[in-house]
Structure 1
Amino acid sequence: MTRITRRAVLGACAALAAPATLRAQPRTIRWGDLLPATHPQVRMIDRIARELREKTAGRLEIQSFPGGQLGSGRDMMEAVSTGALQLTTDGAGALSAFLPALSVVEAPYLWRDAAHMAKVTATPVFARLNGELVARRGMRMLGVTYYGKRHLTSSAAKPVRGVADLAGFRLRVPPVDVFRAMVEAWGGRPTPINFNELYLALAQGAVDGQENPLPTIHAAKLFEVQKHLVLTGHIITPRMPIVNEAFWRSLAAPDRDAFEAAIASAAQWQDAELLRQESELVATLKGAGMEVIEVDVAAFRAPVLARVPAQFAERWGQGTFDTLAAL
């Protein structure tokens, strides 16, 4: 008679249990962002992570890396393209470094408001651009979120009350050529600086001012190093969750569906939260010591529209700017 030892029984149990244990291990998904952890865009990622964990019974686990922990926006998009990072969030202008035609989605004075901008996802233009991004760079846009209406800020020594005050003004912009062209149309000196270096650059006087949406100005505490808030409203910025295509296709179809649903739900919250903050933040920033300057927006718009759409028409496609503006 074969003697069954305790060691044999334990070994058999371990062998049987091992596959189930391995299957239960969550798949870790890294998502990088330039913005601080308090910004609604990063809180959106946290909401997506919670919902996705619940809907997949813990199979998919998102780890968020805010505040530029994984490098500049360009660094993170490069990493998503190669598959070293699964997701990041960035603007259309920044993403145009990989697909130049995408910069039209973040063109100055294109969108009327957040609802107008949201219409772009249903257009053939967006579908074509997304297909080209997948084919050329192995990345996919999973939607469009509202990042906010961009305004100028300036140092105490450089108040901006009209376009003429921007002559020779050193304005920090993202490393995006459409932004540079906009500032040049105003007569300013565009100065590209990575966002995670911006606070220090302003504090040291390397630039005279910068431009961003109100929630970003507040979350990054730029009011500590800028005196004037200039309400130009020059760009309504979209920001897109960007995923590595090979990783995306490696997910089971139900998990992709759960992911998309979580993004849609969290993005809806984020957009509403940013709009709520924008409605309050002018007063908040004024209370923090900034002088709020209301300018003639039409005077800022005119030189930009006279120059920028024509300058980029070949890249964007003839008539694309006007087609999107008319949505």
Structure 2
Amino acid sequence: MLRLSRRSALLGAGAVGITAALGGCSTTMRPMMAADSQPETYPTVQALRFFAAELSRLTEGRLAVDVYPSEQLGGQSDTLELAQLGGIDFIRINSAPFNVLVPETLVPSLPFLFRSIPHMRAAMDGPAGRAILSGLTQHGLIGLAFYDSGARSIYTVDRPVREPADMAGLKIRVQTSDLFVSMIEAMGGNATPMAYGEVYQGMVQGVIDGAENNFPSYESSRHFEVAPVYSLTRHVMAPEILAMSRHRWDKLSSADRDAVLAAAQASVPVMRDIWDRQVIQSRQIVTDAGVQIVEDVDRQAFSRLMQPLWAQYADTPTLRRLVEDIRNIGGDNG
């Protein structure tokens, strides 16, 4: 289990207090808590609300879920720790914070692994995705489903990125992930781990020269106001993960577990539909605001630089097999 931070300990005490208070008021099972770091209107939050409504419908109101967006219960690392401890019932976070905990989650985070969004969805909906989710079980979590996180690309204050040489000297913010740090360094830039909430000011002050993310996050964070050059590197298409605390899962009946799984799966196409529309809308918003969208990116040149990272991070037979299974998905999914 991850080492519990002081902030998470305090949040956990609060969550346990809420649980006790709610549990003491009624013989009915307390409403479960679902945490998301994104704001109310974000596609993942809307999907969580659909999940909550569907779970209530399937269990005739016996299982209720209250959704807490906007980091109300803490940041992604905090809520991950709390879910392991049983202080939060459901979490929706990016796969990157899981990387140090669940080696299988490194695979969908590998840069340039997925050829397209349809390829990623096909992989995560199939045996490879199920194998990755199953890796959470021994760490106090039950993997329920994958949500989209889109294609992440580089955006900068003033420099287009078309080829690796354009990354030279650029300080690019990344999530706290060894893989993401290694990726930016391999691309030719200087990786700078930084909290998401500090990115805007970091670019204003010149602490960093840019960051990397998908269109909806780029737009909703208003990062386009200070970094108006968005280069379509599409280097990572790692999905989000919806997971449940095993503490609460173990208390559910077999029928209620089936309902949780069914509600989670039903929320996936809903999330994807909202996501696809949001990507189009966010791209239009930033385009109308004057953002330069750079489309002529040499993705092959960047991809060739990633092979040592694949060998470094997919360093066991199990992980290498997952990589090959994903790469071999063909047909209309690439």
Same fold (TM over 0.5): yes
**Is 2:64 aligned against 1:49?**
no
Superposition map of 1:204-219 within 5 A: 204-219=205-220
Q: CA–CA distance in 1 between the matches of 2:47 and 2:298?
A: 31
Q: Note the alpha carbon deviations across 1:281-316, whole angstroms, 9 max, x for none.
A: 333211123121223233443343332212223156
Q: Which residue pairs with 1:12 in the alignment?
A: none
Q: Which residue pairs with 1:225 in the alignment?
A: 226
Superposition map of 1:157-306 within 5 A: 158-306=159-307
Q: Which residue pairs with 1:119 in the alignment?
A: 122
What residue identity is the alignment partner of 1:117? M
Q: CA–CA distance in 1 between the matches of 2:321 and 2:57?
A: 45
Identity %: 27
SS at match of 1:142: strand
Distance 1:60 1:198, change over 3 A: farther
Q: CA–CA distance in 1 between the matches of 2:203 and 2:35?
A: 24
Q: Which residue pairs with 1:11 in the alignment?
A: none
Q: Which residue pairs with 1:155 in the alignment?
A: 157
Runs of 4+ in 1 over 6 A off after TM superposition: none
Match of 1:139 among 128, 138, 141: 141
Residue 93 of structure 1 and its aligned partner are, at CA, apart by 2.3
Q: Which residue pairs with 2:85 in the alignment?
A: 82
Residue 42 of structure 1 and its aligned partner are, at CA, apart by 0.8
Distance 1:140 1:200, change over 3 A: farther
**Is 2:61 aligned against 1:58?**
yes
More off after superposition, 175-184 vs 220-229: 220-229
Q: CA–CA distance in 1 between the matches of 2:285 and 2:231?
A: 14
SS at match of 2:145: coil
Q: Which residue pairs with 1:3 in the alignment?
A: none
Q: Note the alpha carbon deviations across 1:181-232, whole angstroms, 9 max, x for none.
A: 1111111111111223333333333211111111111222222222111111
In the alignment, is the contact (CA less than 8 A) between 2:35 and 2:67 conserved in 1?
A: yes
Match of 1:98 among 101, 114, 123: 101
Q: Which residue pairs with 1:13 in the alignment?
A: none
Report the RMSD for the aligned CA atoms in angstroms: 2.2
In the alignment, is the contact (CA less than 8 A) between 1:26 and 1:58 conserved in 2?
A: no
TM-score, with structure 2 as normaliser: 0.83
SS at match of 1:196: helix
Residue 119 of structure 1 and its aligned partner are, at CA, apart by 3.1
Match of 1:107 among 103, 106, 110: 110
Q: Which runs of 5+ in 2 are unaligned?
A: 1-24, 330-334
What residue identity is the alignment partner of 1:154? T
Match of 2:38 among 15, 35, 42: 35
Residue 127 of structure 1 and its aligned partner are, at CA, apart by 4.1
Distance 1:60 1:225, change over 3 A: farther
Q: Which runs of 5+ in 1 are unaligned?
A: 1-20
In the alignment, is the contact (CA less than 8 A) between 1:147 and 1:271 conserved in 2?
A: no
Aligned pairs, number: 304
Superposition map of 1:4-15 within 5 A: none
Residue 180 of structure 1 and its aligned partner are, at CA, apart by 1.3
TM-score, with structure 1 as normaliser: 0.85
Q: CA–CA distance in 1 between the matches of 2:58 and 2:225?
A: 41
